[in-house]
Structure 1
Amino acid sequence: MVFEVGGKLLKEYDNDGYQRVFNQAFTDFPKDVGFNNSLSAPQPDFVEGLQMREYRPFPVGRQVSGAVLYKDDPNSLALPYVAGEWKGRGKDMEEARVQSAYDGSALVYARNQTLSYVRKPDPAGHAEVMTFTTDGTNINFFAHYAALTEDGALEYHQYPITSTNLKNSHQEFKEGRRQLRNAQDDARERSYQLKDQLKENWKAKKSQLAPLPPIEDEDGYEVIEQQPTYQPTPPISSKPNHGKVSSSRSSHSTVSSPPPAVDFASGSGHKRKIPSP
């Protein structure tokens, strides 16, 4: 089903460093970080992003929790921005929505850890990660973000953007395909921007730690200056007993105003079912 529908809808990219993976569990994703307590690893039907080697010399797998998706895989994707879920015709699309909420939460978690590392967190309710669900008839798009509750717990939210019926007409099929490909383009652009930001940040930190040449004072004595020591920013974490994947309904009550909808139109193994919130 993924290849049958995907071949008609998904955009292909020539860059070898930007790849897609189908139906593979996030085996290197950390356990019990709040939203995934006691749950199996996310396993979206589709995910697309940069391979971790594209981040070199920055050691993304060692520095950012949740960034690298697949354990012991040198070609693993890292810090993707888009994922998707397919269901067969007549299957439960609500289950696909809940699964995509779980997928999106994992991508948001990794992004937040990254922004914590570079000390540039997103504003509250800011959405960058996108997911989609489809059964070949309808395709639905969602934005994902995290927000703190009043008691300081971190909640992950899924916000519906748009839906299109792919079979009503040829025009609507083309519209749904364009929406998906624009979402892919947007995710790809964000991936490269984040990669460049991480590499520049790493280069700056390494240059700060580089030893300075010795300086002699007027009497010929060597002056040794103390070099600064970088202390990594503690990662963002959700409270283990409170973090949850929230539905779109709760997103309206937790955040004072929903994130702006992204205008897409213009611009292996068994999965464990994630319980509905």
Structure 2
Amino acid sequence: MSLSVAPPPIAQTKRVSRKLTVCAETKEINVRPVVKGAINEAAHTLTDCYANNAVLDWCSRGASPDDFLFTFFKSLINSATLSSRDFAVQVEGCKGVMIWTNQPQGFSLPSAAKLARIIGWAAALRSLMQYQPWRDKWRRKVMAGYGDYITIAYLGVLQHEHRKGYGSALLKYVLDKADTAHYPIFIEVTEPSAIPFFEHHGFVIKGKGLVCNHSELPVALMVREPVPTTDTPAPLRLKPGRRDSDNTV
């Protein structure tokens, strides 16, 4: 759970070219849900953004890093959109993507056997049997004193699109919902360089740890308290999930 710094864009085959979604009059950045036809494009974006992420690199050992990341993110985005179209959003033709949820259990991932057929047993077991339980344990520990809350799973903006406000626009999409519903937001930051970005938006470090006790995998656990816009919290309004018509990943 982090805002990752992407490496220079890597040429991809069969990438989907998408039009910009900036309003010509107001120049406001338009954040919108990832539609079914853009799931691959969104997965490619996060694959580029997290190509140098130490935690996911550790998870992918024994597998092709690009294959692992693309499969992982495609599965996660697919699962998110099945729960609610709001849970996977993109900005400016998938130049930036964010996955989030209000479900404490998170999203379902492929079984170990299914994932192993794609990325190998070593990477599948490390991801599902070590990393996921570790992060769930620490999230529950940090959020034990809260009721309902939002979790940001992944947020990434392509490197050559930095400093255009795309990351802030994606984050604001969730901040507005959280403030209206009076929900705190939790995020696990595995890129130290991203901590100031989240602090700028009101997040505070609530704990630090090492992923599965590996000294080279530090993580900061951050929480943003809600800034209520009304005295009474409103229900968290979410779009319904899409229909699973193709059993994607």
The normalised TM-score by structure 1 is: 0.25
Larger of the two Rg values belongs to structure: 1
More helix by share: 2
| Structure ranking higher on relative contact order (CA contacts 8 Å, 6+ apart) | 2
The normalised TM-score by structure 2 is: 0.27
